[in-house]
A and B are shown apart, each in its own frame.
Chain A
Amino acid sequence: MRRPAVDTVRPVASEPAPRVAPASPAGTLDAESRRWLEALSGTGHARDEAIGRLHELLLRAARFEVSRRRLGLPYLRGGDHDDLAQQSADDALVAVLAKLADFRGESRFTTWVYKFALYEAAVKLRRRAWQDRELPLEPDSWPDIASRALSPEEHAAESELLGALRDAINDALSAHQREVLVAITLNDVPIDVLAERLNTTRGALYKTLHDARRKLRARLAAGGLDLTSNDAGHPR
């Protein structure tokens, strides 16, 4: 199974990692989660039956993910959709059973297992969408990006930051950092697709991206540019 990289290196060694709140105390599993764990940890027919029900859950989640991304994969036919969902559910089942002892009851058991199925399907679909495509790794489209972000009237006033960013990308980053930053942030190459092509891991690439962003921030701050006014986005 191809899950996010198992790199142990944090993005920035000089920054303390965010402290994750402690796990729920033992014995706080909800009743449904406990039933799942007992059934899957058992033996014989009861376990086989539980595994069958688990696979049904995983397949439902995988089919949801395939449906969700269907518009982005117009060349996939109906049979391909279900094949991908089945493969994803199968891989997720292997992963869930292998990681069963890691489940600590911090979420509902079903949410925990859905995560594996959705992830497996998402990775497969992202890779399918980019297979046989050359990855755009150079910032050739920078002028277009600046143009779509700014009207002509706004260019004069706003181009300072974007111009400084472009210069920092060219001057402050290593070739590898620039390649990763441009592919992921400007050209929308999925990080797991890029990791596969570059024969590395998602975690290793994200560390490269993180380090590149730190360099850009430092360069802009050294140039006296105010970065605090930019919307940092919002997960929800």
Chain B
Amino acid sequence: MSDARARERARLITALLGPDGPELTCEECFEQLDRYVDLALAKAEPDRAVPGMREHLVGCPACRDDFDSLLEFVGGGGVPPASS
């Protein structure tokens, strides 16, 4: 199987089946997101501090999107793209 097809297959199955194991709810994810991001940027074991977050980010595309955005913004020093 090509890499691209293998990734697509994994993405499809993961999307349908979700993460295996307990996960946070969307509300809990929002409450913990800033802490998780700061710990991730500090490489300070965010998954130990916030168990269930990683699984939720695998299962919930919208929360994953929010995580990516906060990580990118804070990790980039809060500097908007030059085009904005």
- Residues of chain A touching chain B, judged by Cβ–Cβ distance below 8 Å, are 3-7, 10-12, 15-21, 57, 60-61, 63-68, 70, 81, 106-108, 110-112, 114-115, 118-119, 122, 126, 145, 148-151, 154, 158, 161-162, 165, 169, 181, 184-186, 188, 190-192, 202-203, 206-207, 209-210, 213, 216-217, 220, 227, 230-236
Closest residue of B by beta carbon distance from A161: B13
Given contacts A18-B50, A107-B37, A192-B62, 4 further A-B pairs with CB under 8 A are: A64-B84, A165-B17, A191-B62, A230-B10
Q: What are 27 contact pairs spanning A and B, CB under 8 A?
A: A3-B27, A4-B29, A4-B30, A5-B27, A7-B27, A15-B22, A17-B24, A17-B28, A18-B51, A18-B53, A20-B52, A21-B48, A21-B51, A57-B78, A67-B83, A68-B72, A110-B74, A114-B70, A115-B34, A151-B1, A169-B16, A185-B16, A186-B15, A203-B26, A227-B20, A230-B13, A234-B58
Most chain B CB neighbours (cut-off 10 Å) among A70, A119, A158:
A119
Q: Chain B interface mostly helix, strand, loop or mixed?
A: helix
For the complex of A and B, 3 pairs with smallest distance between CB atoms: A18-B52, A213-B18, A107-B34
B interface residues, how many (CB within 8 angstroms): 62
Known contacts A17-B22, A209-B18, A230-B17; A122/B66 CB under 8 A: yes
CB of A203 to closest CB in B, whole Å: 5
Most chain A CB neighbours (cut-off 10 Å) among B8, B64, B65:
B65
Known contacts A64-B84, A118-B66, A231-B10; A16/B78 CB under 8 A: no
Is there an interface contact between A210 and B13, defined as CB atoms closer than 8 Å?
Answer: no
Is there an interface contact between B14 and A213, defined as CB atoms closer than 8 Å?
Answer: no
Is there an interface contact between B17 and A233, defined as CB atoms closer than 8 Å?
Answer: no
Closest residue of A by beta carbon distance from B57: A235
Is there an interface contact between B69 and A65, defined as CB atoms closer than 8 Å?
Answer: yes
Partner of A230, one of B14, B28, B49, B72: B14
Is there an interface contact between A126 and B52, defined as CB atoms closer than 8 Å?
Answer: no
